[in-house]
């Protein structure tokens, strides 16, 4: 009986020890994950590096060559709330995800739509903005195209920015149409303006503002937004601490109306148009 009691007592003590150690081990693991987060890197550096691509009015150059736009407001406010400086790094759109993965910057804040394909490589926060795509067409070239289905023709040519959401959506919606790809979004609009493409697709306010700018040449033929999905911050995988922080920041400024107010300023109005050079 003494042997049995000693064995039983030993088992109980072992179980108690394991039970006491589990919280300690969990706490240590949590500290290790936190210390490896990009949030800690940002705090030590006293600056957050933000990757973005030039895309009006998300981000653009003003007449002095300085960056302005919705993303600049978002990134600046984010840095301010973190107590650090904001460093913006303009990057070509088709290379922005590889640049994030390689560590060139801490996050992508550039109107990036969440897609399963992108999510295989990077993680996304909750959406901080929502927008859809509209068609911008050459009025003369599309005079006989009355329905959306009419654009799905071998006789129709679209233009889009390489690697952007329209470049993926156009072949899905209009598989028979031709598609010309360019590195800059402005080049797509220029092709339509010059009559070398029937139409392009872009997020508002670009199509509507371009139609107002060239009313005799361009128009938005359909009052319909396609692929209305959310835009989110992009961050490297394996960083739950960063996801938690950025999501809380987005949710707070969604609820207090700050994100909507800044989004409305850049996307619903044109007060800022005098700040940027004419194209």
Residue that the structure tokens 């911050």 belong to: 233
For 107, phi then psi, to 5°, come to -160, 150
The tens digit of pLDDT for each residue in 178-202 reads 999 998 868 999 999 999 999 999 9
> Mean per-residue pLDDT for 19-31?
50
Distance, CA of 225 to CA of 85 (rounded, Å): 36
- Class of the CATH domain delimited by 132-227: alpha beta
Residue that the structure tokens 């670009």 belong to: 206
Name the residue among 214, 230, 194, 227 with its Cα closest to residue 278: 214
Structure confidence at residue 12 (pLDDT): 62
Do the domains at 38-131+229-275 and 132-227 have one common CATH topology?
yes
Question: Does residue 104 have a pLDDT over 80?
Answer: yes
Residue 245 Cα distances to 105, 120, 239, 252, 260, angstroms: 17, 21, 10, 11, 20
Structure confidence at residue 106 (pLDDT): 98
Distance, CA of 44 to CA of 67 (rounded, Å): 25
Structure confidence at residue 55 (pLDDT): 86
Instruction: Report the range of poorest mean pLDDT among 9-18, 45-54, 65-74, 190-199.
Output: 9-18
Q: pLDDT > 90: what percent of the chain? A: 68
Distance, CA of 145 to CA of 215 (rounded, Å): 18
Mean pLDDT, the chain, whole residue set = 89
User: Are the beta carbons of 201 and 122 closer than 8 angstroms?
Assistant: no
User: Are the beta carbons of 233 and 246 closer than 8 angstroms?
Assistant: yes
Residue 61 Cα distances to 54, 56, 211, 279, angstroms: 8, 9, 21, 11
Distance, CA of 98 to CA of 133 (rounded, Å): 25
- Class of the CATH domain delimited by 38-131+229-275: alpha beta
> Mean per-residue pLDDT for 126-152?
94
Q: How far apart are the first and last CA of the chain?
A: 94
Q: Comparing 101 with 19, which gets the higher pLDDT? A: 101
Q: Comparing 170 with 230, which gets the higher pLDDT? A: 170
Residue 186 Cα distances to 27, 143, 154, 218, 269, angstroms: 51, 23, 24, 14, 20
Distance, CA of 180 to CA of 158 (rounded, Å): 6
Q: Domain boundaries in the chain?
A: 38-131+229-275, 132-227
pTM listed for this prediction: 0.64
Residue that the structure tokens 């949710």 belong to: 251
pLDDT band at 30 (very low <50, low <70, confident <90, very high): very low
Question: Does residue 25 have a pLDDT over 60?
Answer: no
3-class secondary-structure state, position 272:
helix
């Amino acid at each position: 009986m003494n042997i049995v009691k000693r064995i039983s007592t030993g088992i109980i003590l072992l179980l108690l020890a394991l039970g006491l150690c589990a919280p300690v081990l969990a706490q240590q693991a949590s500290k290790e994950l936190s210390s490896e987060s990009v949030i800690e890197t940002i705090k030590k550096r006293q600056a957050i590096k933000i990757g973005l691509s030039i895309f009006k009015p998300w981000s653009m150059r003003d007449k002095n060559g300085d960056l302005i736009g919705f993303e600049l407001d978002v990134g600046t406010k984010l840095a301010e709330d973190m107590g650090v400086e904001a460093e913006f790094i303009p990057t070509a759109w088709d290379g922005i995800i590889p640049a994030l993965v390689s560590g060139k910057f801490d996050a992508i804040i550039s109107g990036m739509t969440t897609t399963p394909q992108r999510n295989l490589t990077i993680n996304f926060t909750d959406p901080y903005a929502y927008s859809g795509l509209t068609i911008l067409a050459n009025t003369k070239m599309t005079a006989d195209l009355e329905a959306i289905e009419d654009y799905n023709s071998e006789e129709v040519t679209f233009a889009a920015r390489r690697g952007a959401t329209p470049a993926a959506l156009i072949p899905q919606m209009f598989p028979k149409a031709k598609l010309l790809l360019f590195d800059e979004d402005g080049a797509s609009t220029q092709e339509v303006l010059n009559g070398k493409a029937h139409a392009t697709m872009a997020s508002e306010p670009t199509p509507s503002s371009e139609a107002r700018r060239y009313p005799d040449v361009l128009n938005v033929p359909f009052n319909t937004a396609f692929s209305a999905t959310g835009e989110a911050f992009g961050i490297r995988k394996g960083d739950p601490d960063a996801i938690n922080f950025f999501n809380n920041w987005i949710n707070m400024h969604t609820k207090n109306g700050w994100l909507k107010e800044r989004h409305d300023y850049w996307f619903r109005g044109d007060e800022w148009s005098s700040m940027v050079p004419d194209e």
